[in-house]
Chains A and B, each alone.
Chain A
């Protein structure tokens, strides 16, 4: 049942993504509103899908890649919808929805993990907290990266004075900077806490705090990149090109943290 809801949600996200692109291209407000509605409906189905899963398995959603990545996509969309409603701009959707769809695709790809049993090693409150914090921390970073990329595009347009004819109707620099700053400010402590809990839990489960585990390493890299971004934004006002480049690198790190482990190696951290 949760699978049906999951696929329904994905379908609506797909429609929403198309609508967001049309909105970007034609600048018709109606398209943007339709896109938001589609995202909202998809999000509702997605929420029910996750709730259903919790209900049937009787445990939290930390068990396998399908659950974790689906929750991750859910978190990204939750944050995006909040930002969209605050800033009343539909333009970020064209950037965020494809990323969320990618995550849904990855989750669907882990079909062999659709079974409900949980590895007994993955029990406990620390684990639950670790997974949740890591998911939300990374989701916030995805939003920050999308905002950073859009900031770069808007800044480019303004600096190059290439405002002839069709320009991308992006949110203002101030709005994008706020998205980015708030996301970073939210995500960094969440991820830090999540990683700490991970280390503690790893100590009891694997016998060592820091192993040569790909996911741990990539998480650290992600943490370092976004930490640098946050620090540079505060002290040196990094907003434009430099920040965007770094956040793209950070986005790659996030994707590798979540997905790369399965593609490249097994490691201890694999579900």
Chain B
């Protein structure tokens, strides 16, 4: 009995291949069912996101699972096996468990510490479970994976610091103005990153937005899109007095805001702090502005510097997270190995009991009439012999259950006594 992971991700396959193998959520139930019809797949689950397509399964033998699962993927997604064969990885047993734990904890993600993957894993598990595709082993594995992911999130800072320019900008704004709701943001110019920052700020409660653009129609259009107010570009300096945050992203080839401009704006704001985010290249705001009291200026390099520092911090936290995963993998494998032993013990007892009854019937038949007490004594004798014989081996087997070789003991016993295999679930 082995746990396997077969799949590809953003590290092994380019997006052209990943997108062809991706299973849209609504399309999953069919393939999940078909996967279960394969003779050697006892439990199964499919995880399919924009960055990975993976099958988690419980099979009799690990290495042998590659071919049928790969064929399954090729057929289901109508993609020739040769195109993606090289991108596939197969993890077995402890490696598979480690992989699942790492994926759920976002350690295998493109951006370590991202928050989406956990919800995706949870959804994939819920779907498979709903369609009765999982069993005791996968259920325990997935529950454990979700627990590990949560533990990693709480005990390490892996998801803490922001790693996109827009979220860094919002984080900085929150270091200046504790509560962003009720603040005013002004956007000069336009652009994708500016709008992204604006979206993040709106999520934090900002709803007063002023838009200015050298071309007024563009300001009007952007204002309509984001729910703000468009003003004429020459009015921007005056209106800036009421703005707590200014995002500047114009195409101007020179500085549009200088030291004197900001000095006056801050004075007219009664020295309340103002946060300038200059993401334009070439820069819109003279860097000397940062020397003024109560003015905080960050250009695109500064923001990316923070992103880089935060990514590095995440990498450091990831080391701690890997240690947590290691520990959990060890514990899970112990549990898994102990599973082998219990049915083996039961099977063995059953076999011995069958032999005992059969031999007892034969002997009682040859002995002629016995009193109930005498029959009782014979039964007790045979049972006692068996228990004494079995006691030592059973104790030792249970003791070895959680060791690394525990499953060997169980396998050898099954082979020696020709005990029946695990029934297919």
Contact = CB atoms under 8 A, between A and B. Distances in A.
B296 interface: yes
B298 interface: yes
B63 to A, nearest CB: 44
Interface in B164-196: 172, 174-179
Given A159-B290, A236-B271, A240-B294, A172 B312 contact: no
B306 interface: yes
Contacts of B312: 164-165
A82 to B, nearest CB: 17
Given A159-B296, A239-B294, A172 B174 contact: yes
Contacts of B296: 158-159
- Shortest Cβ-Cβ A-B pairs, 10 listed: A237-B271, A164-B309, A172-B178, A175-B178, A174-B178, A161-B302, A173-B176, A174-B177, A163-B306, A165-B313
Contact of A237 (B178, B294, B305): B294
A241 B179 CA distance: 23
B93 to A, nearest CB: 35
B176 to A, nearest CB: 5
A171 interface: yes
Interface residues on B, range: 20 to 34
B273 interface: yes
Interface of B: 157, 172, 174-179, 266, 270-273, 290, 293-294, 296, 298, 302, 305-306, 309, 312-313
Interface of A: 27, 87, 154, 157-159, 161, 163-166, 171-175, 236-242
A22 to B, nearest CB: 15
Given A158-B176, A172-B174, A237-B293, A163 B271 contact: no
Given A237-B270, A240-B293, A240-B294, A161 B178 contact: no
Nearest to A234: B270
Given A172-B177, A173-B175, 19 more contacts: A27-B157, A157-B175, A158-B172, A158-B175, A161-B305, A163-B172, A163-B306, A164-B305, A164-B306, A165-B309, A173-B177, A173-B273, A175-B178, A237-B266, A237-B293, A238-B271, A240-B294, A241-B293, A242-B293
Contact of B271 (A27, A87, A239): A239
